[in-house]
Every structure is written in C-alpha cells, then in structure tokens.
Amino acid sequence: MLGLPRFDPQDILVVLVTFVVAITIHEFMHAWTAYQLGDDTAYHLGRISLNPAVHFDPLGFVMFLLIAIGIPALAWGKPVPVNTYRLRPLGRSGRTGSMALVAFAGPLSNVVLAAAAALSLRLSGGFPVETPLAEALVVFMTVNISLAAFNMIPVPPLDGSRILAALLPPFWQPYLANLERYGFAILLVLILFGSAFGGGSVISAIVAPVYTVLFRVLTGVPM
C-alpha cells in the first residue's frame, strides 16, 4: 500500500491493467460463488461477468491510480451484493459459513492468478527477471498476492471479517456487526497513521508476513 511516487508510464500501465484483471476476477468469483450457494442477487444484477465495466467503481479506480504511482490509498472494485438469507446453510456453520465461503472465493482467485504468473516465470527462467514480459509477470504476481493478503485482514468490509465471523462463536456476531459501520475508517487509520512500524503502515505490517509466505511458496525464492 505504501511506496515512493513513480511516474514511468509503462510501469503505471502494467499496474493498472493488473488491478483491473485482478479485481474483475475477484468480484466475479464472489458473485459466482454466491450464485452456486443459492443467492441470485448478483446474477440478476449482471455481476457474474468477466466484463470489467460491471465491477467498476469510479472512486475506487481513482484510488487505484494513486496506488499505481506509489501513493498510499485504499482502493476497491464495486462490491458484490450478497443476500445472506438466500444462501444455503453450510454444515454446522450455517449461512455464516456460506458467507465465509463467498468471501474466501475472492482472495483465493487472486492467489490462483499469482500462481499462474509464478508458474509462467519459472517456465521462462525464473529469477532474476531480464525481460519486460518477465517484469510484467512479477508485477502481476505481486499485486495479486498483495490483494489476497490485504483482503484477508479481519476488518470489515474486507473478506477476512466474513471468514472470522464463521470461525468465532455465535455470541461474537453482534460485536462484529457493530464494527461494520467503523470498518472503513479503521482501515484508513491503519493505512495512513502507522508510523510506529518503522515509517510503514500498520496494514503493511499485518500484510507482510502473509505476503512473504505466499511469495516464497509460489516462487521458491526468498523475498
């Protein structure tokens, strides 16, 4: 989420294209998984689509632009609406478990995309990268890993909060529900005011371990 401003048009274009692909598939998987579990809300809104336009959020895209040039920001695609009461109960966890599965489908799709890029890198010679295509694959991989790790943070409205809700005892549900209204503000504070962590954000400190593990597993090399 953090970085020094960069103004290389080619780098910015690669990052933006990567974001568009990653977010489109991320939101598509939310919608598709919800449909498979019985909720057709997103289906009737045309969200089970790989057309980036249906997942486009104007303000979220502006935030993507800021991140692309290295400025700290919180970016997003158009959220997929899910009606929890239409989801089929999933075992003992009920509809909360179904909602967690819908949420998990998004970050999982980003890990799969990152794995595809990592495999392509390995087949083309691995690290260090020496061609523009290899560099683009590295960007594609790292952005998708970052999105997966970031979305697994258990703070609303991120996907990790839905997964946490399925793991915690039922009496925690009202507290998590109350946290929803403050989730966005909490994320902004964690992103912008984390100087206690060596000048980086608290978000970066939380995401870094997950990012490092995924990077090493997918590439076979340390950070």
Active site residues per annotation: 27
89 backbone φψ class: left, alpha, beta (φ>0; ψ -120 to 50) = beta
Residue 213 to residue 223: CA distance in whole angstroms: 9
Q: Helix or strand or coil: residue 146?
A: helix
How distant, in Å, are the alpha carbons of 105, 129, 148, 200 from that of 101?
6, 36, 14, 31
Instruction: DSSP letter for 129, please.
Output: P
Helix, strand, coil in percent for the chain, rounding step 5:
70, 0, 30
Q: Let me know: does 77 contact 56? Beta carbons within 8 Å.
A: yes
Nearest CA-CA partner of 80 in 111, 40, 140, 116: 40
DSSP H or E segment with residue 161: helix 159-167
Q: How far is CA 6 from the centre of its chain?
A: 22
Instruction: DSSP letter for 168, please.
Output: S
